[in-house]
Homo-oligomer: A and B are copies of this chain.
Amino acid sequence: MLVLLDATAFAFQRMAGVSIKDIARIAGVSHSTVSRALRSSPLIPEQTRKRIQRIAEKHGYSADAVARSLTTRKTLTIGVVVTSIADPFNSDIVDGIEDVANQAGYSVVLATSQANPERELAVVKTLRERRMDGVLVASSRVGALYAEHFANLEIPLVLLNNQHPTDVVHSVTIDNREGAAQVARHLAALGHTKIGYLGDRLGLHSDRERYEGLRDALRSRGIRLSKEFVVRGDGKTQGAREAVRPLLEKANRPTAIFCYNDMSALGVIEEAEKCGIEIPRQLSICGFDGLFFAPFLKVPLTTVQQPRREIGRQAMQMLLLRLRPEADRNGHLQKTIKIKGQLVVRGSTAPPPRG
């Protein structure tokens, strides 16, 4: 407990505005010497260094990172832009980013774009004014623009799951096609042939990739994904319910539905229950993302588990390599990393009903 108290005292007992000059005056040296001592410069003999550090501590000196940044041209801070932090998909990613950033001595400024392209640009502009050393943008709605117009952008940028394909920008993304193909193989192996897709109507690239991944993998097994069985929601529970309703009301309805994400799948589970359709006996459902709650639902959800924390970590690591090119001894810096998810089979999928 005493240790804690001391640490706190060290952190806080600074009289308003104790600067390097004040410490210099008290120690009877120049402020240059104080600066060197506090940074443990090898130029300063140990004894002097210790004496000065003791004085600084006693007077609660706290280095002004703002002033330091102005001199060094580095803020040791990165900006992270997500659509919303309340979305568990994003919060796990941010958790991974923060972990790596922190270990490398970087702070994280969090900003939200609300999935609005103009706001995303405004937010990135603010981050630039604040002189972030680098920026990560998740689910970018303007990814292509960064590339087309700012290839020589002087602020290092890494995109996560960007919604505009490009090979100009550095990015880390989920392997959507491969994940959807895993679902296709699973459903085909169970014997399904009438398969539906509940997508996202916002025109996201990830939606297109999941759709195509499903379609192509089914086709290579001789199963056709009928246009009739494709509907689009908004990636959320309520929107999914409304979008899937006509599909469930069809006389000849699919026996399995692959949902754009777990939140959508939740809506389908609810809507199917309301329509008196039993899962998985009458209808199989697959999600995508592997959110925390998937195993605990009234119907435990088969889904493609994404290593969200790892995605965040890798994106931050990519950014670090850009920030410290000298650290990239092995030429680790790739332009694009694709990360594979893993199908987890649970109770929401089963063979189709007979007949």
Contacts and interface: CB of A to CB of B under 8 A. Distances in A.
A110 interface: yes
B128 A62 contact: yes
Interface of A: 3-5, 7-14, 16, 62-67, 69-70, 75, 77, 80, 84-86, 88, 91-92, 94-95, 98-99, 102, 107-112, 117-118, 121-122, 124-126, 128-131, 142, 145-146, 149-150, 153-155, 266, 269-270, 292-293, 296-298, 300, 309
8 contacts: A4-B117, A5-B149, A9-B149, A98-B112, A102-B111, A107-B111, A108-B111, A109-B109
Contacts of A296: 266, 269-270, 293, 297-298
Given A63-B129, A64-B131, A77-B130, 15 more contacts: A5-B145, A7-B118, A7-B125, A62-B125, A64-B129, A66-B131, A70-B70, A84-B95, A85-B98, A86-B92, A99-B112, A107-B111, A108-B111, A109-B109, A292-B293
B107 A145 contact: no
Contacts of A126: 107
A240 to B, nearest CB: 12
A146 B11 CA distance: 11
A269 B155 CA distance: 49
Number of copies: 2
Contacts of A155: 12
A108 B107 contact: no
A125 B10 contact: yes
A155 B3 CA distance: 22
B108 A110 contact: yes
Contacts of A85: 85, 91, 94-95, 98
Contacts of A266: 296
A70 B66 contact: yes
Nearest to A153: B12
Nearest to A148: B5
A247 to B, nearest CB: 20
Contacts of A297: 293, 296-298
A349 to B, nearest CB: 17
Contact of A4 (B70, B118, B125): B118
A75 B11 CA distance: 19
A93 to B, nearest CB: 9
A210 to B, nearest CB: 22
Contacts of A128: 11-12, 14, 62
A131 B19 CA distance: 13
Nearest to A3: B118
A129 B85 CA distance: 26
A15 to B, nearest CB: 8
Please list the 10 inter-chain residue pairs (A to B) with the smallest Cβ-Cβ separation, ordered nearest first. A293-B293, A11-B125, A86-B95, A91-B91, A110-B110, A65-B130, A65-B129, A298-B298, A66-B69, A85-B95
Contact of A150 (B12, B94, B112): B12
A303 B142 CA distance: 40
A142 B8 contact: yes
A300 B33 CA distance: 65
A127 to B, nearest CB: 8
